[in-house]
């Protein structure tokens, strides 16, 4: 791909050097367009040596090639990192007072901006209005990370790590390949166009008292990747999100998922999933749902009484949301997909347990997920086997959770299409 990397003037410009290297290592041609103030942080020789291309903020250099127009027109992707408050303001008001803002005005490709600034500047109404304007025009503005800023202060405003910016920017380019025509980027399949899907992600928490809960280690990443992938393939996605890990919650924002319902407990998840499922073609239960909840959760915090041991916590069983959906069939032709996190044991292998669970739950497809030994929970690698409702093997996939999400949709989209075809009333 032909990438323009815009850099505006902040200390975080040093991270753009690493971003440049990453993009180059992945085989992309990168032209760096710094602002004048960016050049005070990192000089042109660094950009030129690492990109192999000239780096200037000037519109009056190399004029015979009309760079202020040609760079934007010829780009497949523009990434601005860091984007300062000033750059966001200039871009939002359509200024063309240097090579970077001119390039932004002429670009017809996806534009991704990664803001970095002090928290007060980020939270200022002017900056937020500029971000809203840019987003409304289709610019993908990545939420800044929270953490240590340049001085002693901490808070939102930190530039995300270069790996994260590269990942989001390339995903945005890929997702728009079909709609916007990014040359050289494979268009994603649109095999879910017009379909409504519900994905649950994360892990439910059951209160013991107002401050304590029973929960699990699910980060929600696999479910969010499923939601993201479905959206890229054209689906309308409702994501029911239970207690996502902070980095996964950031991924939800960056993926531009519009219909997100945040839940905490199994009861809330059940209600949200079932409400959305009444009009859904596909429901994917990727959430780790707590099987049990405390029978009583007092409204006041449980106190430790000296000399008296802990009170036992009595648990009661939660409804099985997946089994209910499979049983109730809230909509005709709906494809109900479950997940099963399994470990092999003396009673059988991961697949044996998965097959038995598929039959027990009555879902159309069950994605059986081997957990433990560096796979599954909390890591970005997954190995899955997809079985149908009778336990027959349908597909296997492995790789990052994003790759697994795409592979799962390959199967689910096919089943959904077959079902819709079978249910269609033949023409007279
Ligand atoms: N699930 C659900 N409601 C529950 C428990 C689980 O909807 N109360 C769903 C999960 O979202 C997942 C699938 O069921 O899609 C399998 O969950 P898992 O915890 O592996 O199954 P369990 O029925 O809890 O079986 P196990 O005894 O192995 O824990």
Q: Which residue has the higher pLDDT, 318 or 427?
A: 318
Q: How confident is the model at residue 232 (pLDDT cuts 50, 70, 90)?
A: confident
Q: What residue owns the CA closest to ligand 1's atom 17?
A: 340
How far apart CA 113 and CA 83 sit, in angstroms, is 6
- Answer whether 341 contacts ligand 1 (Cβ < 6 A): yes
Q: Return the C-alpha torsion angle 131, 136, 137, 142, nearest 10.
A: 50
**203 alpha carbon to ligand 1 midpoint, in Å?**
11
Among the ranges given (85-94, 267-276, 320-329, 364-373), the one the predictor scored with the smallest mean pLDDT: 364-373
Look at residue 86 and tell me whether its pLDDT is greater than 90.
Answer: yes
Predicted confidence (pLDDT) per residue in 146-166, tens digit: 877 777 778 889 999 999 999
pLDDT at 184: 39
pLDDT at 89: 98
How far apart CA 10 and CA 81 sit, in angstroms, is 10
Mean pLDDT of 206-230: 95
Look at residue 240 and tell me whether its pLDDT is greater than 70.
Answer: yes
Predicted confidence (pLDDT) per residue in 392-403, tens digit: 999 998 888 988
Point out the ligand 1 atom lying closest to the alpha carbon of residue 318: 8
Q: Which residue has the higher pLDDT, 281 or 68?
A: 281
Catalytic residue among 216, 318, 369, 382: 216
Mean pLDDT of 218-230: 95
Cα–Cα distances in angstroms (integers) from residue 180 to residues 3, 76, 237, in the given order: 15, 10, 21
369 is catalytic: no
Look at residue 182 and tell me whether its pLDDT is greater than 50.
Answer: no
Mean pLDDT of 8-37: 96
Q: How confident is the model at residue 110 (pLDDT cuts 50, 70, 90)?
A: very high
How far apart CA 273 and CA 199 sit, in angstroms, is 8
Mean pLDDT of 120-132: 94
- Answer whether 416 contacts ligand 1 (Cβ < 6 A): no
- Answer whether 320 contacts ligand 1 (Cβ < 6 A): yes
How far apart CA 375 and CA 350 sit, in angstroms, is 13
DSSP one-letter code for 96: -
**289 alpha carbon to ligand 1 midpoint, in Å?**
6
Among the ranges given (117-126, 168-177, 194-203), the one the predictor scored with the smallest mean pLDDT: 168-177
How far apart CA 277 and CA 330 sit, in angstroms, is 7
Look at residue 375 and tell me whether its pLDDT is greater than 70.
Answer: no
Q: Which residue has the higher pLDDT, 184 or 30?
A: 30
- Answer whether 337 contacts ligand 1 (Cβ < 6 A): no
Place of tokens 């929600």: 220
pTM of the model: 0.65
Neighbours of 196 (CB within 10 A): 20
Mean pLDDT of the chain: 90
Look at residue 281 and tell me whether its pLDDT is greater than 70.
Answer: yes
Q: What residue owns the CA closest to ligand 1's atom 29?
A: 291
Among the ranges given (189-198, 238-247, 294-303), the one the predictor scored with the smallest mean pLDDT: 189-198
pLDDT at 181: 45
pLDDT at 428: 46
Q: How confident is the model at residue 177 (pLDDT cuts 50, 70, 90)?
A: low
- Answer whether 318 contacts ligand 1 (Cβ < 6 A): yes
Mean pLDDT of 251-258: 81
Look at residue 179 and tell me whether its pLDDT is greater than 90.
Answer: no
The pair of three-digit structure tokens given for residue 122, joined into one six-digit string: 């980020």
Mean pLDDT of 160-177: 86
Look at residue 81 and tell me whether its pLDDT is greater than 70.
Answer: yes
Q: Which residue has the higher pLDDT, 186 or 341?
A: 341
Q: How far, rounded to the nearest angstrom, does the alpha carbon of residue 4 sit from its chain's CA centroid? A: 23
**276 alpha carbon to ligand 1 midpoint, in Å?**
19
Mean pLDDT of 255-274: 94
CA atoms within 13 A on the CB side of 366: 30
Look at residue 27 and tell me whether its pLDDT is greater than 70.
Answer: yes
Among the ranges given (223-227, 287-291, 370-374), the one the predictor scored with the smallest mean pLDDT: 370-374
pLDDT at 373: 63
- Answer whether 203 contacts ligand 1 (Cβ < 6 A): no
Q: How far, rounded to the nearest angstrom, does the alpha carbon of residue 247 sit from its chain's CA centroid? A: 9
Point out the ligand 1 atom lying closest to the alpha carbon of residue 324: 7
**236 alpha carbon to ligand 1 midpoint, in Å?**
25
Gyration radius of the chain over CA positions: 25
- Answer whether 269 contacts ligand 1 (Cβ < 6 A): no
Mean pLDDT of 347-351: 92
Among the ranges given (166-175, 271-280, 319-328), the one the predictor scored with the smallest mean pLDDT: 166-175
Among the ranges given (137-141, 187-191, 379-383), the one the predictor scored with the smallest mean pLDDT: 187-191
């Amino acid at each position: 791909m032909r990438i323009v990397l815009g850099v505006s003037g902040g200390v975080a410009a040093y991270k753009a050097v690493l971003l440049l290297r990453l993009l180059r290592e992945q085989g992309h041609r990168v032209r760096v367009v710094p602002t004048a103030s960016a050049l005070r942080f990192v000089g042109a020789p660094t950009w030129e040596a690492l990109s192999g291309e000239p780096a200037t903020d000037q519109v009056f250099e190399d004029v015979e090639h009309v760079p202020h127009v040609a760079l934007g027109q010829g780009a497949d992707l523009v990434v601005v990192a860091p984007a300062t408050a000033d750059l966001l303001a200039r871009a939002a008001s359509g200024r063309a007072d240097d090579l970077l803002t001119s390039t932004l005005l002429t670009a017809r490709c996806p534009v991704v901006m990664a803001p970095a600034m002090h928290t007060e500047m980020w939270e200022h109404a002017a900056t937020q209005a500029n971000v809203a304007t840019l987003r409304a025009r289709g610019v993908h503005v990545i939420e800044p990370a929270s953490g240590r800023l340049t001085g002693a202060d901490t808070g939102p405003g930190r530039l995300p790590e270069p790996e994260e910016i590269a990942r989001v920017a390339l995903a945005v380019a890929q997702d728009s390949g079909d709609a916007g025509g990014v040359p050289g980027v494979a268009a994603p399949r649109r095999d879910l166009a017009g379909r409504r899907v519900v994905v649950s992600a994360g892990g439910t928490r059951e209160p013991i008292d107002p401050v304590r809960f029973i929960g699990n280690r699910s980060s929600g990443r696999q479910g969010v990747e499923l939601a993201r992938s479905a959206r890229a393939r054209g689906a309308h996605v409702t994501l029911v999100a239970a207690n996502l890990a902070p980095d996964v919650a950031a991924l939800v924002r960056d993926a531009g998922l519009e219909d997100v319902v945040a839940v905490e407990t199994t009861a809330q998840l059940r209600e949200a999933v079932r409400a959305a499922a009444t009009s859904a073609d596909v429901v994917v239960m990727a959430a780790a749902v707590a099987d049990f909840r405390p029978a009583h959760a007092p409204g006041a915090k449980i106190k430790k009484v000296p000399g008296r041991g802990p009170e036992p916590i009595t648990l009661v069983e939660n409804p099985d949301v997946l089994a209910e959906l499979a049983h109730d069939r809230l909509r005709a032709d709906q494809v109900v997909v479950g997940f099963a996190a399994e470990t092999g044991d003396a009673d059988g292998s991961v697949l044996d347990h998965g097959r038995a669970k598929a039959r027990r739950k009555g879902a159309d497809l069950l994605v059986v997920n081997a957990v433990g030994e560096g796979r599954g929970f909390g890591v970005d690698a997954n190995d899955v086997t997809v079985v149908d409702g009778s336990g027959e093997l349908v597909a296997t996939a492995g790789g990052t959770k994003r790759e697994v999400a795409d592979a799962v949709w390959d199967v689910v989209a096919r089943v959904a299409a077959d079902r819709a075809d079978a249910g269609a009333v033949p023409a007279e």
